[in-house]
Structure 1
């Protein structure tokens, strides 16, 4: 960090803090992302390495560029190009939404960034206004840039049976399959977020402002219809709770009708068709990245080509008449005269204060989830270390017990051998009257008097003779 001078704090995320800095040598403003935890933390290290790898792979004008990465005192720092503000700040300045031309330009630039990611089989998984950077003015040279690839994932390098986490993306921009708890989703979750961003740019209000995952799914289904089939990813996880999520009534294309009622004063039919194509409930029916790039809504934009998409959204061709057609409104009203129109969900406008509070809650929840993940990883490491120590202790006790048993067996064998030798010697003495190695009293030598009884008798007679001779002499 000696190379950069800290000028202020840009923002704070789940894993780190973004600082506004200045290069002391060149004077160039940069954004430095400083990670909170030490590089030894497994969750932070995994997220950091993934973000660096993805950013080095993606080099495009609408994706924020990574200038360098370095470590200092065990913490990793990422240096990015500096962009002064994000779309959330733009929406706070213009609570009524942006001009349709500006909405179209920002959406096109976001589509190009997402398409470049998907072309490399990378899913971002966290597209929201805070992660979309724009310049200080709204000129045509002001490019939108997608940032924060901490949740990004390259699907080709993932193992076939490796599940994906469903807790990604901020709730308001989370696709239905994520709300349903799917672990096998794909690139289509980013298309859903693009449609949500486009709607929020149009009128300044979140398209689906849910208070919880269940409430979010309820608002989405009420607005876009219940087109989830048995093959929709994640359907069996939560959709079976019919008491919480009742089945909605059928409608020809409730989603298009809802979008038309809400945005038709500002958006034309091409824009509505594009938004509807990105907001299909079934991810298999959403526009691919080729389909988004070639959509007629962006005709005339820089880099637009009229290449046909890989698949079309079937809801578009049935529910929407060609643009500038006088019979489009009449067809929508009279095609199904027996079908009653359903009112759009009643959602009160979200004030700037409420928006900030909800953003703060979402960020706090993301930080709490990150801390819980880190704590769980640390606890898992401690448990594994304790298990290894317990296993080593058990093995040591087993070895000691085996050594004691071996020594005891050796002592028992020696005792039995000695006992057998003594018994054999005793039996030999009993049989032959002699033998070596006798024990007890039989091992001691016999008294000399017992071996020479005759010597004792001769000595007694000699004593008696000498006594008698002395007596006679005295007499």
Structure 2
């Protein structure tokens, strides 16, 4: 059957290429590449992530005929109300022949927290760490409240707006749904691995998130990671850089900020 002009136009408008323009590459990982982009209809600045299907190992059934990668499923859950401003939002996604395309919000100006720390000489002040940690804790809390485990809360997966110091958690490619009975595999970065997994081969989402947040805080304060191998992690010995405060003042402020017992919920 020959399609009408209106049908051809509607089909064209449904494609990624007709709705977005591409810009420079922002980054590349083992599972995909991310580019700057712009929505044609209104000029909205976005980030566009391309993921090859051969790199996706976990899928979910979206409906009777369509499946989606778990990253899309987790982002869709996180993009539901109530919206958490410390987690990146998924605008839409496209299923093409050999790849998935994720269109994400793109704060501007922004860079990875890892790059920001390097620009600051490797670490930032304790007052700034307090602000960044509070936002990171809230991102982890909101993910947990909606049943999502990120697995990779680290400077490379946090975007920071250099003007406002607002933080957003990104990249759910290694994420999973929270499982009541825990996990017997670890998909994250080795230096952030919880000690109970090394000792017992099993861990739970809440304690693992708290552990990774602790490693993140140490990294922001000290310039280096607290652990470099399994023996370091299970040994638990911490070596702080010189010049830090005793922590009493910052600790009391952080505790007071944990409204409605949000921190303990992790």
Same fold (TM over 0.5): yes
Q: Note if contact 2:123-2:219 (Cα within 8 Å) is conserved in structure 1.
A: yes
Alpha-carbon distance between aligned partners in 1 of 2:68 and 2:32, rounded to the nearest angstrom? 10
* Cα distance change, pair 181–33 in 1 and its aligned pair in 2 (3 A): farther
Q: Deviations over 1:96-121 (max 9, x none)?
A: 41121110000000000111112223
Distance in 1 between residues matched to 2:146 and 2:186, nearest whole Å: 23
Decide which of 113, 118, 143 is 2:166's aligned counterpart: 143
Q: What residue in structure 1 maps to residue 156 of structure 2?
A: 130
Question: How far apart are residue 14 of structure 1 and its match?
Answer: 2.5
Larger Rg: 1
Q: State the partner residue of 1:269.
A: 248
Task: State the distance in 1 between where 2:100 and 2:262 align.
Answer: 44
- Aligned position for 1:435: none
Within the candidate set 189, 211, 224, 2:208 is matched to 189
In structure 2, runs of 5+ residues without a counterpart are 1-15, 61-66
1:169–1:190 CA distance, 2 compared to 1 (3 A): same
Task: Select 1:206's aligned residue among 214, 220, 225.
Answer: 225
Please give the residue correspondences for 1:350-429 in structure 2 after superposition, counting only pairs within 5 Å: none
Equivalent residues of 1:202, 1:266 under 8 A apart:
no
User: In structure 2, the residue corresponding to 1:166 is in which secondary structure?
Assistant: coil
Residue 43 of structure 1 corresponds to 57
User: Could you tell me whether the CA contact under 8 Å between 2:87 and 2:168 is conserved in 1?
Assistant: yes
1:155 aligns with 2:178: yes
Render the CA deviation track for 1:378-407: whole Å, top value 9, x for unaligned.
Answer: xxxxxxxxxxxxxxxxxxxxxxxxxxxxxx
How many residue pairs were aligned? Answer: 237
1:71 matches 2:27 = no
Structure 1 distance, partners of 2:263, 2:36, is 41
1:25 aligns to 2:25 (yes or no): no
CA distance change for structure 1 residues 34 and 268 in 2, over 3 Å: closer, same or farther? same
Change (3 A) 1:183 1:90: same
Deviations 1:285-321 (A, max 9, x none): xxxxxxxxxxx342565xx42749769xxxxxxxxxx
Alpha-carbon distance in structure 2 between the residues aligned to 1:198 and 1:130: 13
> In structure 1, what is the Cα distance between the partners aligned to 2:219 and 2:91?
31
Which residue of structure 2 aligns with residue 55 of structure 1? 75
CA RMSD of aligned residues (A): 2.9
The higher relative CO (CA closer than 8 Å, separation ≥ 6) is in: 2
Shift of 1:217: 1.9
Runs of 4+ in 1 over 6 A off after TM superposition: none
- Map of 1:45-124 to 2, 5 A cutoff? 45=59, 49-58=69-78, 59-83=83-107, 84-124=110-150
Distance 2:172 2:49 in 1: 12
For 1:292-371, list aligned pairs within 5 A. 296-298=252-254, 301=257, 304-305=258-259, 307=261
Structure 2 CA distance for partners of 1:308 and 1:155, relative to 1, 3 Å: closer
Segments of structure 1 that go 5 or more residues without pairing to the other structure are: 211-215, 225-257, 275-295, 312-475
The superposition leaves residues 207-242 of structure 1 with CA deviations (integer Å, 9 ceiling, x where unpaired) of 22x1xxxxx121234444xxxxxxxxxxxxxxxxxx
* DSSP 3-state at the match of 1:26: coil
TM-score (norm 2): 0.77
Q: Is the 8 A contact 2:186 2:193 kept in 1?
A: no
Q: Which has the higher helix share?
A: 1
- Distance in 2 between the 1:42 and 1:11 partners? 18
Compared CA separation, residues 310 and 266, structure 1 to 2 (3 A): closer
Whichever structure has more strand as a proportion of its residues is 2
**TM-score w.r.t. length of structure 1:** 0.45
Residues of 1 paired with 2:116 and 2:196: CA distance? 29
What is the DSSP-based 3-state SS (H/G/I as helix, E as strand, rest coil) of the residue aligned with 1:43?
Answer: coil
| 2:24 corresponding residue in structure 1 | 8
Judging changes above 3 Å, is the alpha-carbon distance between structure 1 residues 94 and 4 closer, same or farther for their aligned structure 2 residues?
Answer: same
Q: Distance in 2 between matches of 1:118 and 1:175?
A: 17
1:394-447 Cα offsets, whole Å, 9 max, x none, are: xxxxxxxxxxxxxxxxxxxxxxxxxxxxxxxxxxxxxxxxxxxxxxxxxxxxxx
Is contact 2:52-2:98 (8 Å) kept? no
Query: How far did 1:202 drift?
Result: 1.0
